[in-house]
Structure 1
Amino acid sequence: MAMLGTAAVATAQVMVGGAPMYAAKDIVDNAVNSKDHTTLVAAVKAAGLVDTLKSPGPFTVFAPTNNAFAALPAGTVDTLLKPENKGTLTTVLTYHVVPGKLDAAALMNMIKDGNGSATLKTAAGGNLIAKSAGGKVMITDEKGGTATVTIADVYQSNGVIYVVDKVLLPK
């Protein structure tokens, strides 16, 4: 029976950016295969966060797509990727990470328990606000920007990823 359960998990992958996401792989090992997250992967490498996101965690990551990064003001990504801006880049990236593993069921329970919203403390020390509207989960940053979760519950060996359509920015 245990083998059957393992086989079901191994074959039921979520596709992100045209690539299967394997629950047995860590966040970095899965993200590098998503064609929709090449900017995020480049930023994680530039910030020196690869080892952190390969560690046991667990982590909940709100992963912006390439289009989300492209929607930032012109030159923002290039500026953030410069070595002299590594501290700022690290802060922006760790603002997308919440310690612990919050799958959609847990997140929805937190929103319900919070009377319609849940405050999530990020690894950067800031807060994100999660709300549910029209069957979608919205994540609001400290600057008032809102991202929509487009893919939830992308399970990893060291956490869970939510694909989001905007870059979340700390104060």
Structure 2
Amino acid sequence: LTFFAPINKALEWLKDKKIPKEVIRRVFRYHVVNTALPYKSLIATRVLDTTLNSSGLNDAPQKVRVGGWPHHTYINWSKIKIYRLAAGNGYAYGIDHILIPPPDIMTELFIIPTFFSTLTSALQKVDLAETLETSKAITVFIPSNRAWAKLGFRNLAYLFSPRGKDALTTILKYHISPELAYSTDLIGDKALPDHLPNKHHTELDTLAGLKLQIEASSYGHKYAKITVNGVRVLFKDVLAKNGVGHTIARVLLPKTTDLYLPDDNYQTIEDESELMAEIDINEENEQLFQLTRKSKNHESKFERSTLYETVDIIRE
């Protein structure tokens, strides 16, 4: 087994709190992985199955995300503070916050309006919000507010007008796949040396009835680049109770979409140059990471409110 153990400070706010036992059991199972993972193996993974199953994933295991930031490793948004605690039947790692099982994808998007408010407004406008709340085992490619802004004022005004509702509906459905695809599914599992590129092609169906073309390349576990119809994936594996999301640099447009675009290669360019693409990616990842993790002064309050607000979600 591998156990992600909240350190004492992470549990202080639970003193004298009455939390339903079924919630505690589910949260505990979300901290346990059935495989014994030494640190080198842990950081070589991207997502891990926990012992918590989710009805929103058709009773498949809910995953945790393993992320690296300079000089630190994170499980979801919790930083590993204590490493390599070997036990008789596996490994334990001390983390600085409790791992809360995630809500549905729509709720995830609502939590960070500064990044995703345009998308949530669009989904509500065309009555697709409930789809992201109730559908099971789905994948959503998530354009940020910045990605929507790249369409320009004229196109956004059209899409959000009564005349553009059908086009907006098609575009949004083009971002939703009924197939569950984590980054590990998109990258593939070829066992190649780190210095050789692992290239993988995937097609995903969408609710628009069209397919997405996904290209992935990686060098071992150190670097992975994924594009969807030529558009760069910025942040992989936004975990949810009923699926997974991946944030993307631009809005995906079906070929039938009738919009005025200043660049005929909108679908395939990532930015004015590869350098600008990397700057955008780094800035957006940093902002998203810091916003989600929050400051030390507010994390415990965020964690506490999230747990109580999602009791029904955790109970399922």
- TM (norm. structure 1) is 0.80
Are residues 110 and 77 of structure 1, via their aligned partners in 2, closer, same or farther at CA, if it must alter by over 3 Å?
farther
Taking the TM superposition and a 5 Å limit, the aligned residue runs for 1:1-171 are 4-7=28-31, 12-14=75-77, 23-34=101-112, 35-109=114-188, 116-133=200-217, 135-140=224-229, 146-171=230-255
Cα offset, 1:74, TM superposition? 3.2
Q: How many residues align?
A: 157
Are residues 47 and 31 of structure 1, via their aligned partners in 2, closer, same or farther at CA, if it must alter by over 3 Å?
same
The alignment's C-alpha RMSD in Å is: 2.7
Kindly provide the amino acid, as one letter, of the partner of residue 136 in structure 1: K
Q: Could you list the runs of 4 or more consecutive aligned residues of structure 1 that deviate by over 3 angstroms after TM superposition?
A: 1-5, 11-15
2:287 matched residue in structure 1 = none
Give me the whole-angstrom Cα distance separating, in 1, the residues matched to 2:181 and 2:160: 29
Are residues 111 and 83 of structure 1, via their aligned partners in 2, closer, same or farther at CA, if it must alter by over 3 Å?
farther
Q: Quick check: 2:182–2:237 contact (8 Å CA) kept in 1?
A: yes
Are residues 12 and 170 of structure 1, via their aligned partners in 2, closer, same or farther at CA, if it must alter by over 3 Å?
same
Q: Quick check: 1:149–1:163 contact (8 Å CA) kept in 2?
A: yes
Identical columns (%):
29
| Structure 2 gap ranges (5+) | 4-24, 33-63, 65-73, 79-99, 192-198, 219-223, 256-316
| Structure 1 gap ranges (5+) | 16-21, 141-145
Q: Secondary structure at the match of 1:72?
A: coil
Q: Secondary structure at the match of 2:30?
A: helix
2:82 matched residue in structure 1 = none
- TM (norm. structure 2) is 0.45
Give me the whole-angstrom Cα distance separating, in 1, the residues matched to 2:203 and 2:31: 36
Cα offset, 1:12, TM superposition? 4.1
Cα offset, 1:87, TM superposition? 1.5
Kindly provide the amino acid, as one letter, of the partner of residue 119 in structure 1: E
Q: Secondary structure at the match of 1:116?
A: strand
Cα offset, 1:138, TM superposition? 0.7
Q: Quick check: 1:110–1:117 contact (8 Å CA) kept in 2?
A: no
Which structure would you say has the larger Rg? Answer: 2
Cα offset, 1:156, TM superposition? 0.4
Kindly provide the amino acid, as one letter, of the partner of residue 30 in structure 2: T
Q: Secondary structure at the match of 1:30?
A: helix
Cα offset, 1:53, TM superposition? 0.9
Q: Deviations over 1:121-167 (max 9, x none)?
A: 11101121111246210111xxxxx2111111111011000000100
> Which segment drifts farther, 47-56 or 154-163?
47-56
Q: Quick check: 2:200–2:217 contact (8 Å CA) kept in 1?
A: no
Are residues 111 and 68 of structure 1, via their aligned partners in 2, closer, same or farther at CA, if it must alter by over 3 Å?
farther
